Amino acid sequence: MPAPTSSLIVGSFVLLLMGSGVSQAQPAASIEARADSLVQASLLVDGHVDLPYRLNDFYENPADSTVGGDVDYPRARAGGLDAPFMSIYIPPYLQSNPAAATNRADALIDLVEKIATDHPTEFALATSPNEVRQIATTEAVALPLGMENGAGLGGELDNVEHFYDRGIRYITLTHGAHNRLGDSSYDDAEPRWNGLSPFGEQVVAEMNRLGIMVDVSHVTDATALDAIEQSDAPVIASHSSCRHFTPGWERNVSDELIEGIADTGGVVMITFGSSFLRNAYRDRDAPIRDAMNAHIDSMGWAEDSREAVVYEQQTRREHPIGTVQDVADHIDHAVGLVGTEHVGLGSDFDGVFALPEGLQDASGYPALVAELLRRGYSDPAIQQILGANLLRVWTEVEATAERRSE
């Protein structure tokens, strides 16, 4: 177990804040049953799932059980997942070719549309909170879209509206490298803009005009603070955890940024990837991945072959890193800073290698809810975190766009 931290104090605060919650003496089986029922009864929105990029590399039918990855229809239904935001991910290597970056975004949107067209009972596209709510009354999983890396705009302001028309409802301003919009927390080079670029400021204003959420995951602190200042609408972090537990790692959000996002009315969506949970977990991840890749190479398997995908999945399942309690610690910390109304979930399923035990795929959400129940969270507070908060923010972003058009 990790050494005790201030999150334990925050957890005690949360227990008092949430009221009756659940008795610590309640049998584990009862808590787990209650968690499963609560997840199935709630509207669960996940801020970031990389299913499109995964299927672009190795296509499987997501309406059926798949051999790779973390999300498919059976696992989503088992975990109570109603609306995973499909990540339209633009790799940094495409940034030097704006047309290729834009084409990749369009191609991944085409792929998501094909999933919904080919499997209408299991999946449906969603472009508004009301559509998400309507789809949740059926057996289908809603598929809203978010662009990960504003490089997909190709440096053209008109493309913000193009991708709005194609269904994009948030844009993560950067990814792994500085781009034309702003600076990335992952880039080892000196900052290019020291925050948002002039073009990035134009993009944020255009996103506000159209009703696209501004996402500050992946950006530097300076870029995030500029986006918060520039945006007239609430801002989100679609898949970021708390830097409190990973000191010095700018990819996670600082306490100042958590509070700044909340001040806009926005939401910080806690991610599940092991590397986000504790700094030490990143050191444990690399040797496992290196040994796996060496075995794949020794067998002569192509990276996108079925044999390699199956072996990677087996390796990941056999080597969880971290626990559900780690994820709950991050939720506790954010809640202690800004309250339950500004916290959500952004798993990064299908986008990370290592995941914690109990949260290794989309069937695992009830395990996290059970841990929150053990910590004293009330049912309404959990429902806020599961999806109500993000839907509230999305609705306010729409309302901001409507006001600007008057």
In this prediction, what percent of the chain has a pLDDT beyond 70? Answer: 94
Tokens of 99: 């047309």
Q: Is 402 exposed, middle or buried (0-12, 13-18, 19+ CB in 10 A)?
A: exposed
Strands 44-49 and 141-143: unpaired
Give the model's pLDDT for residue 24.
Answer: 46
> Domain 6-405 carries which CATH code?
3.20.20.140
Strands (E), 65-182: 81-89, 123-125, 141-143, 145-148, 168-172
Give the model's pLDDT for residue 26.
Answer: 64
Q: pLDDT tens digits for 57-76?
A: 999 999 999 999 999 999 99
Q: pLDDT tens digits for 275-325?
A: 999 999 999 999 999 999 999 999 999 999 999 999 999 999 999 999 999
Nearest to 208 by CA among 267, 165, 160: 160
Virtual torsion, Cα 99, 104, 110, 114, nearest 10 deg = 160
**What gap in Å lies between CA 162 and CA 179, rounded to an integer?**
19
Tokens of 80: 């109570």
What three-state secondary structure class fits 173?
Answer: coil
Look up residue 357 and give its DSSP letter. B
Give the mean pLDDT of the chain: 94
404 versus 76: which is more confidently predicted? 76
What three-state secondary structure class fits 140?
Answer: coil
**Mean pLDDT calculated for residue range 365-374:** 98
Tokens of 88: 């339209």
**What gap in Å lies between CA 195 and CA 229, rounded to an integer?**
11
Q: pLDDT tens digits for 134-159?
A: 999 999 999 999 999 999 999 999 99
Instruction: Name the packing angle between helices 255-263 and 324-338 (round to 10°).
Output: 60
Q: Which has the minimum average pLDDT: 103-107, 234-238, 282-286, 359-363? A: 282-286
Look up residue 300 and give its DSSP letter. T
Please give the full DSSP string across 239-286, using - where no structure is assigned. Answer: T--BGGGSTT-TTSBPHHHHHHHHHTT-EEEE---HHHH-HHHHHHHH
Residues in the chain, overall count:
406
**What gap in Å lies between CA 239 and CA 347, rounded to an integer?**
7
